């Protein structure tokens, strides 16, 4: 499996547009469009194609490795990859996946179990799917007999668990953690020591009336992570020896 993406794309608008007083303005300039069309000798390339291409390149393992230090200081340049179409297609697929993560299908390989049986959200008690204490990984014994985390099983609470989490779901890393890792870290009941205010995800609008929405949310994160790794693993090299790149 390819090394995990570690790039924070939080400042990158996946639509390729930025608003101004007149409405929406392309982040891709006319100059940039001309540069790409000229380099690839293809006047059918659009600004949307370039934006998707950039998003794809910024997930390429060789690009992330070469510019790892630069990414901590600023924005490195985007190369002219040998296969523009491959990165544009992959980038658009990644954009659709990352922007639409709330509506993607839960991962087909995972199973939601309650007390060892298949979950029945239409009939189970609502409390069955609520958070009671921090989520955690199941434990299993490694080859040396020591207990280790079983990353294929997420314990939501004492009764509900998600099983069959694929290895690929742990290969997509954003700011040092996988999406599931962030969920485990942030989706927990906490109380501010100074104000005494309790932060309870169970009361959030998204799943207060239907707690199973939380379970579906977690299963969608698995889909996004696994699909991202699949797309990234299929990318061709983005950098070539003495590869030229746009200068601005």
Gap between the Cα atoms of 231 and 89, Å rounded: 10
pLDDT confidence of residue 21: 54
pLDDT < 70 stretches in the chain: 1-24, 241-248
6-12 CB contacts, 8 Å cutoff, 24+ apart: 6/64, 6/68, 6/173, 6/174, 6/175, 6/176, 7/58, 7/59, 7/64, 7/71, 7/174, 8/174, 8/175, 9/55, 9/58, 9/98, 9/174, 12/55, 12/58
Query: Angle at Cα 175 formed by Cα 77 and Cα 237, nearest 5°?
Result: 40
Q: What is the predicted pLDDT for the residue at 26?
A: 78
Q: pLDDT tens digit string along 11-32? A: 444 455 555 555 567 789 999 9
Q: What is the value of pTM for the model shown?
A: 0.82
**Location of structure tokens 């889909």:** 223
CA 200 to chain centre: 24
* pLDDT score of 72: 75
For position 242, what pLDDT does the model report? 58
Query: Which pLDDT does position 158 carry in this prediction?
Result: 95
Mean pLDDT (the chain, rounded)? 87
The tens digit of pLDDT for each residue in 197-222 reads 999 999 998 888 999 999 999 999 99
């Amino acid at each position: 499996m390819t090394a995990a993406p570690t790039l924070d794309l939080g400042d990158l608008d996946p639509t390729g547009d930025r608003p101004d007083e007149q409405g929406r303005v392309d982040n891709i300039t006319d100059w940039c469009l001309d540069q790409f069309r000229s380099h690839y000798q293809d006047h059918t390339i659009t600004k949307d194609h370039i934006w998707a291409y950039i998003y794809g390149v910024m997930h390429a393992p060789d690009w992330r490795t070469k510019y790892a230090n630069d990414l901590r200081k600023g924005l490195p340049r985007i190369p002219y990859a040998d296969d523009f179409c491959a990165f544009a297609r992959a980038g658009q697929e990644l954009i659709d996946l990352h922007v639409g993560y709330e509506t993607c299908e839960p991962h087909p390989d995972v199973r939601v179990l309650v007390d060892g049986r298949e979950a029945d959200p239409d009939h189970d008690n609502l409390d069955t799917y609520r958070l009671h204490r921090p989520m955690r990984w199941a434990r299993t014994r490694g080859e040396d007999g020591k207990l280790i985390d079983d990353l294929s099983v997420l314990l939501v609470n004492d009764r509900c668990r998600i099983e069959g989490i694929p290895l690929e779901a742990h290969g997509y890393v954003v700011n040092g953690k996988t999406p599931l890792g962030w969920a485990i870290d942030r989706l927990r009941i906490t109380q501010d020591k100074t104000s005494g205010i309790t932060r309870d995800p169970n009361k959030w609008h998204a799943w207060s009336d239907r707690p199973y929405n939380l379970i579906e949310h977690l299963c969608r994160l698995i889909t996004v992570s696994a699909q991202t790794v699949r797309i990234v693993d299929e990318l061709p090299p983005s950098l070539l020896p003495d590869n030229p790149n746009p200068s601005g």
